[in-house]
Amino acid sequence: MTVEGTRRRITPEREAQLYEAVLDLLREVGYDALTMDAVATRTHASKATLYRQWGSKPELVVKALNAQRRVRPAEINTGTLRGDLRALVMVGDDQAMAEHSALMRSLFTATHNNPDLMTAFRELVIGPTTAEFDALLERAVARGEVPADRPALRYIPHMAIGALAMEELVTGELPTREFLLGYIDAVILPAVGL
């Protein structure tokens, strides 16, 4: 405890290992049945370490999910909004996208009965994603591709995340990269006037 108390940060490798274990548990038992005890046991960490590093179960789980996302929109810069959106879709294959969608949906589902998780999900997943989209859209505005006052600009997260969430309900199929590329051309670009 005193040794751990003096070490403020765990290594990135250890962090990645912990996040993997959390996502495995999430897949196996779901959010409600996932306990800090189970995470501690599986990763041979003390609960004190888990709570000191992450504060709470919702934060730990949401940060584990975030770590799985391998791309940030602001890091993509192809020179056009269409190119940037398509590049976002083409990171990772259909299987990685389906797996991430399934975890997102599982967690979104759990927000219904867990207000703390809802707060963490909004602050740590939706907020940064929206900010990252905004960075990409600001570049499109700066290039003169899209007028700054185009009303659809504030609804990009609704369109993009909503489409991912709805595809299985509407068609019974998981969203694929092909579906998202089609949706960008059919909906998002026309909505912003491109």
In this chain, which stretch among 4-12, 38-46, 84-92, 161-169 interacts with a second copy, using CB under 8 A?
A: 161-169
Please, what is the minimum distance in Å from the beta carbon of residue 161 to a second copy?
A: 6
Residues 77-106 that bind a second copy (CB under 8 A): 105-106
Please, what is the minimum distance in Å from the beta carbon of residue 92 to a second copy?
A: 21
Residues 23-62 that bind a second copy (CB under 8 A): 30
Asked if 193 touches a second copy (CB under 8 A), the answer is: yes
The secondary element (H helix, E strand) that includes residue 43 is helix 36-43
- 87 contact partners, CB below 8 Å, separation of at least 6: 76, 78
E strands present in the chain: none
* Residue 88 neighbours by CB distance under 10 Å: 21
Instruction: Please tell me the total number of residues recorded for the chain in this structure.
Output: 194
**3-state SS class at 34:** coil
Please, what is the minimum distance in Å from the beta carbon of residue 89 to a second copy?
A: 15
Nearer to a second copy, 35 or 155 (CB): 155
Nearer to a second copy, 41 or 66 (CB): 66
Residues 113-142 that bind a second copy (CB under 8 A): 113, 121-122, 126, 130
Q: Binding residues for a second copy, how many (CB under 8 A)?
A: 36
Instruction: Annotate 95-121 with DSSP letters as a single string.
Output: HHHHHHHHHHHHHHHHHTT-HHHHHHH
Work out the angle at residue 71's Cα, subtended by the Cα atoms of residues 118 and 55, and round it to the nearest 5 degrees. Answer: 35
In this chain, which stretch among 43-51, 86-94, 134-142, 165-173 interacts with a second copy, using CB under 8 A?
A: 165-173
Closest CA to 61 of 26, 105, 17, 112: 26
Chain contacts with a second copy (rule: CB under 8 A): 30, 105-106, 108-109, 112-113, 121-122, 126, 130, 151-152, 154-155, 157-159, 161-163, 165-167, 169-170, 172, 182-183, 185-187, 190-193
